[in-house]
Amino acid sequence: MMALCFNLTVIAQNGSKLDENNGFKTYKFGDKLKPYLNLKSYSDNNIINNQHVLRIPGKDLMVGDLPVKYIDLYFIDDSLAKIEVFFIVKYNEDLIAACKNVFGTPDSTHYKTDTTGTNENVSAMIPKDCYWHGHNINLTYSDLSNKYYNNNQKDSPIYKKLTVSLVYKLNSYESLIDVKKEEIKEVQKKSDF
């Protein structure tokens, strides 16, 4: 019984830390789009899946000692609803350790599978996706590579281009997207007349 209470307390603290931070660094959920457009600190400005997406170069942004490659900010209507922070893949283990230090043990983890079959035991121990859940915000660590890279392969140009990301998003993100899609359908119906 005592262990169960301890586990629930740890989960609540992890989730509350996500909710308490309300985003990443100075990028906070609910921020409005216009101030970001006025700053002109973005490198790309796109509309993707009914969302306004700004790409912010990492420049001097760090997570501990880990340099940020770039950040994608996703705005639904005029409000920040998702933040994706990209890092070079070589920082994957340090990034997971930093997240565990701040948010605790992930609520769930999926491990890599090496499709060549030559390194199955090694790759099975390398996290591919880790998930932390707050009451209002979720965080996902994601490594898009499914392969285990040995030290010799880490010098290849392909390896150096790979990224891992941290995705912070509102728990209501998918439903906000659905509402936006329905709004667009309604506008399109009206314009058909």
Is the pTM above the cut of 0.85? no
pLDDT at 12: 39
pLDDT tens, position by position, 67-90: 999 999 999 989 999 999 999 887
Three-state secondary structure string covering 43-87? CEEEEECCEEEEEEECCCCEECCEECCEEEEEEECCEEEEEEEEE
Spatial distance between the Cα atoms of 62 and 52, rounded to a whole number of angstroms: 24
Identity (one letter) of the amino acid at 144? L
* Extents of the domains making up the chain: 2-191
- Each residue's pLDDT tens digit, 112-169: 765 454 555 544 567 788 999 999 999 999 886 655 566 566 666 665 567 788 999 9
pLDDT of residue 192: 66
CB 44 within 8 A of CB 55: yes
Concatenated DSSP letters for 2-58?
HHHHHHHHHHHHHHHHHHHHTEETTEETT-BHHHHHHHT--SEEEEETTEEEEEEE-
H or E element, residue 159: helix 157-161
